[in-house]
Chains A and B, each alone.
Chain A
Amino acid sequence: MESCLLNELRRIVGTAYVLTDKEDLLCYAYDATPGFSHMPDAVVSPANTNEVSQVLALANTEKIPVYPRGSGTNLSAGTVPTKGGIVLQMTRFDKILEIDEANLVATAEPGVIVAALNKAVEQFGLIYPPDPGTVATATLGGTVAENAGGLRGLKYGVSKHYVMGLEVVLADGSILQTSGKNVKDVAGYDLTKLFTGSEGTLGVITKIIVKLVPAPEAKKSMMAIFSNLDNAGNSIAAIIAGKIIPATLEILDNATIRTVEDYAKVGLPTEAEAVLLIEVDGIPEVVEKEAAKVVEVLKANHADQIQVAKDAAERDKIWAARRAALPALAKLRPTTFTEDATVPRSKVPEMIRAVNQAAAKHKVTIGTFGHAGDGNLHPTIVCDLRDKEEMERVYKAMDEIFTTAIRLGGTLSGEHGIGLGKLKYMEDQFGEVGMKTMRAIKKALDPNCILNPGKLVGEC
């Protein structure tokens, strides 16, 4: 990058906040997505909206790519600076600006760590429900831009269900406010939703207003073990049909069970085809009633074993299995792809079987676990990126997994976003018109394609 440009960037944000040493740039060449890496020309850390606006105005005039970045924990290569340019590090935006208890709303800057927001609202008896596996590291901005979800997605949904208003800096540096604290607000296009999940391709989020909900008073967790995958699938359907929406309804497949047991020794039978982990939450009386009903359903659907946690310690033990799933799989091999194929929940057993077939056919190791209740599965492929021949098989298996998901009426992503990782399947899901519409939006807001170019909607 030219030195006068760098000087200008230094003038805007301060010399200390523009990194250009090769050693630093190398550390911004990646995120949590395997297989993508590229060095930026500079890393710029603005302190406020005005600085973001100036940086974008400059980049827009000079047609320099800009990649907004939170903690870089995304799984879709969303922050990899594939075309060089500027990584816009947003972690200095780390203030919670207001907790409005009366309106159950919080206003925060995008660099706030999600767990920090939860900690701050906890004293008011409130929670901010989106809780990705990375709550303790991911930023609010990154989760909103990625439309992240989490374990509680079945009952509580994903980020977009909680974002009420945003401050966004557009590609040319102009500053936009969308919606606000109003519970009912139907004025105009829903720009809040448009920017939520836009993966840094439409604007840089600089302020976020979110809805908070009362923390559940009680929780009850249980685990059921199935020697037959279909019985697990039928249980999921029957629980929902019984008008119970658990906060969490997770599944582990046989490959995952075996790996978890090997690694964490939590007492799972390794021959089981599926384990369901269920948590209901809410008012104590309702929780009791719902838990009893879930147990009934599990029994009716031939669960081989059911454990209900009596206290916090037992609850912890039940969730230990789920917490161990990713680490256990990740430890098997150097590279770990956590995929995000999502299907209507009735199709969960069919999807798991398709994944297993793909694994067998292409001789790759895949463990599947995930949020069965909302159909959001995480087929986790472990391999070694350095082995070219193996990687060819891995990518073939991936193709098969995503085509199956779409064939079953599913979607490419339940919570991780598209980025570059799943770009090639987008047309399959949205068709030509869908993609044209999305690209039109991208071009209208970012005519020079400086914001996270090439991601989500591809080249335009």
Chain B
Amino acid sequence: MKEDKKLLTDIEDALANCMKCGNCMEVCPIYKEIQTEAAVARGKLSLMEAVINGNAEISAGFDQRMAMCVSCKACAVKCPCGVKADELILRGRQAAVKARGLNPIKKQVFALLANRTLFDFALRMAGLFGPLQMKKLPGRMAVVARFPMPGLDRRRVLAPFAATPLRSQFPEHINAAKPRMKVAFFTGCTINYVYTDIGQAVINVLKANNVAITIPAKQHCCGTPVYMSGDVELAKVFAKHNVETFERVNADYIVAACGSCAEAFKIEYPELFHDEPDLQRQARNLAAKTYEISEFLVDVLRFRQDTLGPVPATVTMHDPCHMARGIEVTAQPRAIVAAIPGVKFVEMKEPARCCGAGGSFSLAHYDVSRKINDRKIADIASTAADTVVTSCGSCRMHIVDGLVQNGRNQECLHVVQLLDKAYEAGKCLQFKQP
């Protein structure tokens, strides 16, 4: 049997468990916009079954339909039969890659990603030359393209690439006076190359809590984007590199300020190496000490609250899919916001509904991802909040885009940035009260 098809027969039993009840229709953000059966999990699982039964081919059409998924996991959580449709759909993409090869644009991008030095160079260049191509939008860390760029919708609002990546702004080791512990910071690419302000906030907040920080210079992208596209072999290369790098630094804990990055370390890496016991053991060790930043601050560090100053803001929160349903961290970011004096917190109606970013999904299917995002923006708007906080750089970028497109002026920050502001305000407070 051909290897591509074998990838699907491996999951034949998992596919057969879908009883076609249609419960996933209620929650699938893609189905809500497109309204065809092929858009919902049930349809995509049936297509894979059809391939196994010889009723369909792994065609361009198959590929396109597997692509219509933001991997938000909403279907898997809803499914009465415990079918993990999001993972099975990734398997479908993997089969498509095996059968048909990666699509040419992705191939180029991934070839770049694979070479860490080149990758770093390219994204730095983007930071240096970005201003020539991008027009800055006032006040919100956002830009739009001046010229058409391949694979990018011109209307789309992006964040500028940083002139200096985060990891070049800071030394590899940041010590504390009497450090309580040593934490390794996995920055992920979004924070390193784009949202350095989030990374800066993570460092400030850890410092405020007397933690020694190490930011391993050789870390690579977590690999989630390539994994999601079905290129599992390349994802493994990234994962192996990161596992070995972080094993070497020997920190007490590893933190990431991105739900997907944390999920990669906590869940995906150990699974990726199911047939390489040594690596799997290493990955498991690391997984056990990896935390998403809010989770770490609340559950492990019990962050300082006596030095927090007031931040006058009305705040609402978007839960990234991989936080809410991936690593199931939703209470901790709320606990952080609740601890900040002066903040009025207003919950939106569906905080954990996908914002539509879905990694590269929003690049390839901008119109659908915009529609999903418009619902999120409407939900945000109905709270009367002036600030939206979230825990993922891609979500932040997508929400900022949505806010601009819908003529809204809310600010969008990472939760940890709000906390950073509060520590900053606390310093002034001490200054005023001798």
CB within 8 Å of B: which residues of A? 19, 21-24, 26-34, 43, 45, 71-73, 91-92, 134, 136-137, 326-327, 330-331, 334-336, 384-386
Contact = CB atoms under 8 A, between A and B. Distances in A.
A92 B81 contact: no
Nearest to A327: B80
Contacts of A29: 46
Nearest to B64: A23
Given A23-B61, A30-B20, A71-B22, A327 B81 contact: yes
Given A22-B61, A26-B56, A137 B13 contact: no
B332 to A, nearest CB: 24
A334 B61 contact: no
B82 A331 contact: yes
B188 to A, nearest CB: 35
A298 to B, nearest CB: 30
B22 A72 contact: yes
B19 A335 contact: yes
B80 A326 contact: yes
Interface stretch (B31-39, B221-229, B230-238, B258-266): B31-39
Contact of A28 (B22, B37, B81, B82): B37
B99 to A, nearest CB: 14
B128 interface: no
Interface string B29-66: 00000011110001100110010000110010110110
Nearest to A31: B20
Nearest to B24: A137
6 contacts: A22-B59, A26-B47, A29-B46, A33-B20, A327-B82, A331-B80
Contact of B37 (A27, A33, A327, A385): A27
Given A134-B23, A327-B80, A331-B81, A24 B37 contact: yes
Interface in B116-139: none
Nearest to B35: A91
Q: Does more than half of chain A's interface fall in helix, strand or loop, or is it mixed?
A: loop
Contacts, number: 82
Interface of B: 13, 16-17, 19-23, 25-26, 35-38, 42-43, 46-47, 50, 55-56, 59, 61-62, 64-65, 80-82
Given A24-B37, A24-B38, A327-B81, A137 B20 contact: no
B25 A27 contact: no
Contacts of A45: 35
Most chain B beta carbons < 10 A, residue from A27, A71, A136: A27
Contacts of A330: 19, 21, 80-81
Contacts of B64: 23
A327 B38 CA distance: 24
A73 B22 contact: yes
Contacts of A386: 16
Contacts of A26: 46-47, 50, 55-56
A352 B221 CA distance: 58
B65 A23 contact: yes
A75 B23 CA distance: 13
Most chain A beta carbons < 10 A, residue from B16, B20, B55: B20
B19 A32 contact: yes
